[in-house]
Each structure stands twice: as C-alpha cells, then as structure tokens.
A and B are shown apart, each in its own frame.
Chain A
C-alpha cells in the first residue's frame, strides 16, 4: 500500500529525515515512536503533502503510484488521511458545509453520486455517534472554540466520514484523557479491515494498548533505528528512550 524508499527531507535547508525506509501492507498498523524532534511529524506532514518540506531524495509509492508529485487534495481523495496533531481553527467555515464538501469531493473522485443534504446529515449522525461527538459541535465553524479533546475527536470523526485506505494519526493521543483516548481508539479500530492500514505516530505506549500495532518503529534523528513487534512499545515505556540514544550515539 505504502512504500517509502530512502526518503530525505529538509525544511529551510535543515535536513530532518535522513533516509527513511518503510513498507506498509494492506491491513497493517504501524506505530512510529521516538523522542521529541526525531522527525515523526515531519514524516506525517510530508506524506500528506505539506508544501514547505522539501524532499531532497528518495521516493514514496502509494498503491504503486508516485505520491510525492500529487497535490494534497489528490492524495486525500485517493485514500490517504492525516489526523492533524494541531487541527486548525477556521472561523467562518461551518463544519457541516466543510464536511459535506469533503465527502462529496471524495465521492465525485470515485465516480459516485454526490450526497444530498439529507443523505449527508444521516451519514453524519451515524458517524458522530461512533466517536461520541456532541451534536452541537457540527453547528460551529471548523474547530472553532473546540477543546483539545474535541478537536482530536473531530479528526477521527472526519476519518470515519472519509473512510481512508491509509490513516496517519499524528499524535492523536496527546492531550486526551483516558475516556477520550478510548473513544479515539474505538473510532480507529472500527475502521480496521484487511484493506485498510494506519500509521500511528505517538510518544506513549498507552494508545497502543487500544490500537494494537503490527509493527513498532523507533524514529531517531531522522532515521528508523529499530523495528519490532508491539512488545517494543512496552520496552520503551519501561526503559525510556535513553538506551536508543546511547545505542545510536555515533
């Protein structure tokens, strides 16, 4: 599904990713962990198509096609979803209008009939229940005045509406209390299927109790320095990152 080969990325002349290799197959969940500043969010942003990052070499194939030459909206419509670490507040853009446009852009792209307002509202209610979103929130502007937890739930709610093939969750767990964390995890697990995959970027093992990964990768100084099964997360939780730092001191 996703194949990252020897990816180097810079921002404003500073090299952040230094040769990433990662292979995500359909149905797999990959966790990416690592200390602050190791390049986790950069990787997530580059995959989603954020423009200020410069890919200096390497390639990324998404379902066999060159992902990096596509616009962010094309990537989205082909089934890639980024759950933002910091969802943006957009005053004046009503949630409902935004979501309906997004869903219908996806449908158009797939050659499906656009949803009417009524059909969309029905779909929206269904998905809202799934992530336990308060109905009032959809009457507001996008993320405006949402609490930290509501913003993160809103990301998962959008993911549920758009049903992506590959979801990238960029520290979706940060700032969540345990109930919200479970809700978010339930949302992700509800979408799990043999065709769908996810990359879960997180600092903490906690989220991985609920979203059980197939692989855990440790990203450090722009490289994946260790890959193992879910037990690696537990090991990190216990030992911290220092041993990784020592191992990779040179």
Chain B
C-alpha cells in the first residue's frame, strides 16, 4: 500500500509543480506552444508517471528517475564560453554544420546557423514558433498526449528545442550535427521539443549527440516530431552518450509521405536509464523506413527501445534491427509493434532483435507484436537472447588470441551488423571506434573535452 501511495505522491509532486510554475511556462512562450499546455497537463494528471502496470512501460520503471529533487530548466541559460571552441564533438573528416542545445535550450549564440544553404532553417523552437508560427503548424502534431504520459508531460512543460527545416528540393551536402548538452549546477530536469521538417524531394542527414557533464542527476524528457515529404530522404543518427546518473526519455515520431526514405539509427553507448519511443507512420505508398538500434550496457544501466510502425498505405517497406550487449547487472527491453492497416497491401515489414548477455545477472525482455489487418503482406520478426558462441571463441583462441581479446572481437562482430548500416562513413568509423572502446570497458566519450573524467 505504501508503495502505491509513494507512486501517486510522485505524480502529484509534478502536478503541483506545474501549477506552481505555470506562469513561467506561459510567459515568453509562443501562443502555439501555450495553446496545448493546459490540455496536455490534464492528460498528464489523468495518466501520471507510468508504472509497470502501463503495458507500454512494463519493462521500465521510471519512478526512481523522477525521485530526485530536480531544478527545472524553464528559463534559458547560455554557457559563457563559446561552445564551438571548447566542445567539439569530434568526428574526423566529417563536415557538419554544428549547433548546440544547452540544458534543453537551443543556443543561437554557439550555433553555426548562418552557414546553411538558403531557405534551410536551423533555429530555436521558441523563436520560430513566435516568428513563423505558420511554418510550425504546416503539419498536424503526431505526438498525442493522450497516448503517452511522457508526451503529455513534455507538451505541458516544453518551451524550447531545435527546429530544422529543409525546403522543397534542397539537398544538404553537409550533415547537421546537434550537440545536446546537459550541464547543471545541481540535479536537473529538461523538457525539450524538437521538430524536423524535410520537404518534398529534400535530403538531410542529421546527427544528434546527447551528452551530460558533471555528476548530477539528470532527467531529460524530449519529444521530436519528424515530417518527411514525398520523395524526400532523411538519415537521423542519435548518439546517446551520457552518464550513469542520467535518464534519457526520447519520443520520436516520424510521418512519411509517398516515395520517401527514412533511416533512424540509435546508438546507446552510455546512460543510466534510456527509454527510446520511436513511432513511424508510413502515410504514403512506396515508403521505406529503416530503424536501427544498438546499446552497450553495464553496471545497473537500463535501455528500453519501444518501436511502433504503422503501415497505413500499400507498397511500403519497414525494417527494424536492434542489438543489445548487456554486461554485469544491466537490464534491457525491446518491444516492437508492427501494425499493417487494412488495405495496406504488399507491405514488407521486418523486425529483428538480437541480444548478447555477458553475465548470468544481466536480463533482457523482448516482445515483438504484429497486428496485420491486410491479407497480402510479408512480415517477419525474430528475437534471440544468448551468450557469446563458445565454439567461435575457442576457434579464435586456438589461433593465438587470448580470451579477453577473442571476446572483444566477438562482441564487436555482434555489433558490426548494425554499425555497418551507418551510411555516413566518417561517423561509421568513429562509432566503430567508440563501440570498441566501450566494449573494452574504457570511457567512450565522443569528444575531447576538459570536463568530467569519471562518468
């Protein structure tokens, strides 16, 4: 009984908090963001912070992550120093247009937003939603607060995030790289809302790197809405590299129009608790959606990938491949839902989840779910949970490789299948290297920075 009360209390704490800061939330925000707040808040009140009784959060207990006394990043702070100077998320040979989000706020000061081709926008949501609200409301929101309490909470609290717009027919030569940095003087909570619009025939490669500095508890609850027009292409790489006291909840919604191609690639290298919600709606014929994910966990880390693909139109292909390597007492979950609606004939939908458990204490939950309402489709799913192949290990050792090295090679080989799907070659090489470091038990930070040595 006391446990239940505690959980209710925790949700109450956040509802009380909303009421307390309501004015701050509304102040300075655009009408378009404010218009949704109250309703989203009501929705959050109804749902509360999800417990394991919520089927969609069955394998992830968020309550401990919400327990610390957080300070909320409701107002903008800028880092004094130039982030471009001190913080180079270094991917050798990768030319990117670099932008920063600092504690949930887009940093115009540090971002190279002027270097983009004409018509391309890379800016803060706060300012775009005020200055060009018509641009933001081009598409109906995909993130329904009623469907997920974390989305409801995000919609109620969000004030800023990044906004990326690639107009019709524009092909970006350089990738856009957004560094999402958390750095608080105490335990901190951020709520970021992002938008990515890739219009008809346009092409974008976007790399989002999540980092955290110093040893505070962080909780980030972000929502990213992505619209990809007909015949457009998006590669969206998410590199999650925070620390063990960071909780990262990221809900990504993607809508695709006909003949478009989208690839998401989620590399969870480091973090205390990571929950990735990824929902694709294939709303035009002949779309291709590729969803790749990999995670490397140790200690008591937890990663949960929750995917949904809705095949709403015929002749589309979706392909999911998720791989996890779990060491020590880490835990993981994968739940993937494929829904082929009536009349979405000639759908090809594939899903695979492979997991490598390195200890007896690590656990993995995997749950495929197919809902097929059409009759001429090709769908498959497969999941494995296993250990390193002892026969292969012996083969490598019999050629003179010591056991540690042989294991490392086997783990790298396991991840290789996902890594090779990274089309940006310099990024692929960099991630290869980071994964290798991560598997060796070394700190795999993807930047040379002067901060945090022990995370």
Contacts and interface: CB of A to CB of B under 8 A. Distances in A.
A92 B414 contact: yes
A26 interface: no
Interface stretch (A15-23, A57-65, A68-76, A188-196): A68-76
A82 B413 contact: no
Contacts, number: 75
Nearest to A99: B399
B441 interface: no
A84 B138 CA distance: 63
A72 B403 CA distance: 9
A88 interface: yes
Interface in B380-416: 389, 391-392, 394-403, 405-406, 409-410, 412-416
A48 interface: yes
B417 interface: yes
Interface of A: 48-51, 71-73, 75-77, 82, 84, 87-88, 90-93, 97-98, 101-102, 105-106, 109, 141-142, 158, 162
Closest 6 pairs between A and B when the two form their complex, measured CB to CB: A92-B413, A92-B416, A76-B400, A72-B397, A102-B399, A105-B400
B413 A101 contact: no
B400 A109 contact: yes
12 contacts: A73-B403, A76-B399, A90-B410, A92-B415, A93-B413, A97-B409, A98-B399, A101-B405, A102-B401, A105-B405, A158-B399, A162-B400
A140 to B, nearest CB: 13
A84 B395 contact: yes
A92 B417 contact: yes
A135 B395 CA distance: 22
Interface string B154-188: 00000000000000000000000000000000000
A182 B401 CA distance: 30
Contacts of A90: 389, 392, 395-396, 410, 413
B127 to A, nearest CB: 46
B394 A102 contact: no
Interface string B249-293: 000000000000000000000000000000000000000000000
Contacts of B403: 71, 73
Nearest to A92: B413
A80 B429 CA distance: 36
Nearest to A143: B395
Interface string B332-357: 00000000000000000000000000
Interface string B301-313: 0000000000000
A76 B398 contact: yes
A221 B396 CA distance: 30
Given A92-B416, A93-B409, A98-B409, A105 B401 contact: yes
A51 B390 CA distance: 10
Given A88-B391, A93-B413, A98 B400 contact: no
Contacts of A102: 399-401
B413 A91 contact: yes
Contacts of B397: 49, 71-73, 76
A72 B417 CA distance: 28
Given A84-B398, A102-B401, 9 more contacts: A48-B398, A71-B402, A73-B401, A76-B397, A90-B392, A90-B395, A92-B415, A97-B409, A158-B399
Contacts of B415: 92
Contacts of B402: 71, 73, 105
A132 to B, nearest CB: 21
